[in-house]
Structure 1
């Protein structure tokens, strides 16, 4: 069994001397993931505030409606093909950072390796979580926790089929979902403190949270490997029938 305090302590050690690089990675990931959504909201607000009763013709109204649909479609494509790969790259950065200083460019590594497979796997996973959330909030939260390791598994092996990534995530989180939920809740105080500081403080908490979640994944992954629930070769941690993965010299993905 893992301990929240130990995970957080290990996260602080991993960030030691490398915090500002991690801060830059998480900040850029947040900007990339949220930038288009912000511009879309600005357009929506402007669209809703137009003086519809002051003579805007039906043709203009149709054109504006089509523009809104187009922007929504572009936003969806941006989320799938930009935001999701960046989230995987961020997870990969923090996993590698556990073993030593990771390269800042790791944030964009998903665009070079297994790009379409990773994006598709994450999209289907998000759809599953969304559909479960439509049933009831609690089942949605459970599925969110159950699939919380998918992006880390794809970070290890970007060619891993989505169905297999979700299956492995279920293995890793089996019997751990309640503890993972509590781990997430333990950061609420930090995020509230960050929000009080004009919201900017949240960005300073993100590296700590991301590093802690990476520590959790590494623990669950290694335990599953040691109990023969997962073959390390499937995650690209060792060549097939090869020597055990050396954490000081991780594979270049």
Structure 2
């Protein structure tokens, strides 16, 4: 059994004296992930004077969809080839930080050895989640919780085959998905508070300042959330090893973890 309060307490301890280092890691990830939004590919179609049920109106909609495709494709590919390795690197940073190795270079570890395997595994995993979500929202949420440890597993051993990474994550979260969901919701208050602060400023007429406050507020909460989730992973990982659901070698905790390398499936 694990306790939210203990997990969070351990996370605070792990961040002790290193909070701003962790904040820098979160900021780097956030800025890099946000880069596609700066591309001059947004499309604004003028609908002035066009009746909503007219043929011209629907032509304009199709035009906007067609012209928006480049941004959609670029954003999607960017998320796959840049965002996924960053997710793995961020997980590695916070897991290593728990043991005192707060090296900012870990944020970029997903781009190094095992990049292709990590990207492939993350892509297939997210695809499964999306497909389940298309069926029904609830199964999609369940699958996202079931596979939530995959980036952390890959941060320990990026060469682990995708099927095995998902299998270990499934074993780790068996009987824990409800608790993990509540655990994640327990941070909602912090993010809502950050968003409300900015929203108040926006409503007062300071749109730019308010938007900055929203992003900044959420960013300042991010290290606490990420450190807590890493702490939860470490607990579930250690329990999985004790219960023979995974071996230290598979999780990169022993010298010959390379024996478990393989393509993402």
SS, match of residue 211 in structure 1: helix
Structure 1 Cα separation of the partners of residues 46 and 109 of structure 2: 41
Instruction: Determine if contact 1:18/1:101 at 8 Å carries over to the other structure.
Output: no
1:56-95 equivalences in 2 (<5 Å) = 68-95=68-95
What is the TM-score of this pair, normalised by structure 1?
0.85
TM-superposed CA distance for 1:43, in Å, is 3.2
SS, match of residue 47 in structure 1: coil
Q: Report the aligned-residue RMSD.
A: 2.2
1:7-48 deviation digits (Å, cap 9, x = unpaired): 000000000000001001011111111221x236x633x333
What is the TM-score of this pair, normalised by structure 2?
0.81
Instruction: Determine if contact 1:92/1:152 at 8 Å carries over to the other structure.
Output: yes
1:36-62 deviation digits (Å, cap 9, x = unpaired): 1x236x633x33348898xxxxxxxx9
Structure 2 Cα separation of the partners of residues 25 and 197 of structure 1: 24
In the alignment, structure 2 segments of 5+ residues that lack a partner are: 51-61, 199-213, 258-265
TM-superposed CA distance for 1:66, in Å, is 6.2
TM-superposed CA distance for 1:65, in Å, is 7.0
TM-superposed CA distance for 1:226, in Å, is 1.1
**Counterpart in 2 of 1:39?**
38
SS, match of residue 249 in structure 2: helix
Structure 2 Cα separation of the partners of residues 131 and 86 of structure 1: 23
In 2 relative to 1, CA 232–71 (structure 1 residues): closer, same or farther, beyond 3 Å? same
Question: Is 2:153 the partner of 1:149?
Answer: no
TM-superposed CA distance for 1:236, in Å, is 1.4
SS, match of residue 129 in structure 2: helix
SS, match of residue 244 in structure 2: coil
Question: Is 2:111 the partner of 1:111?
Answer: yes
**Counterpart in 1 of 2:140?**
140
SS, match of residue 230 in structure 1: coil
Runs of 4+ off more than 6 Å? 50-53, 62-66
Structure 2 Cα separation of the partners of residues 52 and 39 of structure 1: 30
**Counterpart in 2 of 1:25?**
25
**Counterpart in 2 of 1:208?**
224
**Counterpart in 1 of 2:233?**
217
**Counterpart in 2 of 1:247?**
none
